[in-house]
């Protein structure tokens, strides 16, 4: 389901899809990843995950484990795709993902 007509607004010749779901937590995203990220000609994937977990009081370790599983699945299933994660993490959580090579050093 398309929640935001990004392709129409940016008027790009590239096919773009926004799969953002308000209130979605990492456990649901992980469980239904194949419904959100699919196809054989995917060039780039931009995603913002983890911030809803904070508001829903999900344990930090569970969020990190879910994010790690999502990133590993995307790297496995789309090895030629550029991934641009924007994780709602700072401090210890971000460092834990960076140590595993799953989060940019920005």
**Phi and psi, residue 20, nearest 5°:** -60, 135
Asked whether 6 and 18 are in contact (CB, 8 A), the reply is yes
pLDDT of residue 13: 77
pLDDT band at residue 3 under the 50/70/90 scheme? low
Which tens digits make up the pLDDT trace of 56-105? Answer: 788 988 988 998 898 888 888 887 777 655 555 556 666 666 676 666 55
pLDDT of residue 83: 63
pLDDT at 14 over 60: yes
Instruction: Please state the rounded mean pLDDT for residues 42-53.
Output: 79
Q: Cα–Cα distance between 17 and 63 in angstroms, integer? A: 25
Angle between helices 91-99 and 60-77 (to 10 degrees): 30
The share of the chain scoring above pLDDT 90, in percent, equals: 8
84 three-class SS: strand
Asked whether 37 and 20 are in contact (CB, 8 A), the reply is no
Q: Cα–Cα distance between 31 and 49 in angstroms, integer? A: 13
Report the predicted TM-score, pTM, of the whole model to 2 decimal places: 0.66
**Phi and psi, residue 85, nearest 5°:** -75, 140
pLDDT band at residue 1 under the 50/70/90 scheme? very low
Q: Cα–Cα distance between 19 and 70 in angstroms, integer? A: 15
Q: What is the mean pLDDT of the chain?
A: 75
């Amino acid at each position: 389901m398309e929640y935001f007509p990004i392709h129409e607004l940016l008027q790009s010749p590239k096919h773009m899809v926004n799969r953002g779901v308000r209130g979605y937590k990492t456990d649901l995203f992980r469980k239904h990843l194949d419904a959100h990220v699919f196809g054989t000609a995917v060039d780039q994937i931009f995603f913002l995950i983890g911030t809803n977990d904070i508001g829903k009081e999900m344990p930090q370790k569970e969020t990190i484990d879910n994010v790690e599983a999502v990133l590993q699945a995307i790297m496995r299933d789309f090895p030629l795709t550029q991934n641009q994660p924007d994780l709602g993490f700072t401090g210890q959580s971000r460092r834990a993902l960076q140590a595993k090579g799953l989060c940019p050093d920005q």
